Amino acid sequence: MANNFEMTQEQLDVLLDAMNPVPMIAINVCTGMSRQARANNAWASLGRDMGFDHMTVKPNGKGARFFTAEETCKGIDLGSGNFSGCDASSGDCPSCGR
């Protein structure tokens, strides 16, 4: 189920910067990552930080900083902010049941 999220202005700025074109210097090297790849990486990083699956993001109509996405399960709380992790593949996670 999708939940509402709100990113900070700083997080939005990072996303927008990732989508800007970068100057290319052609000295017999690769062209670097595409804008799409940089944007995907920025969303993936934001998803890890905020706890959502970056592939499920949809706008919710409230503005650029607001969106809906499915939350990711962190797994079992091991204490001190550490979690076991959950890949939602074996169906035995006590936190989410996936």
pLDDT in tens, 54-89: 999 999 999 999 999 998 876 666 777 666 666 666
| 98 has a pLDDT exceeding 90 | no
Q: 4: pLDDT confidence band, cut at 50, 70 and 90?
A: very high
Q: Look at the pTM and tell me if it is higher than 0.75.
A: no
* Beta strand segments in 1-98, E: 2-6, 58-59, 66-70, 77-79, 82-83
Q: In angstroms, rounded to a whole number, what is the distance separating the alpha carbons of residues 64 and 76?
A: 33
For the chain, what's the residue count?
98
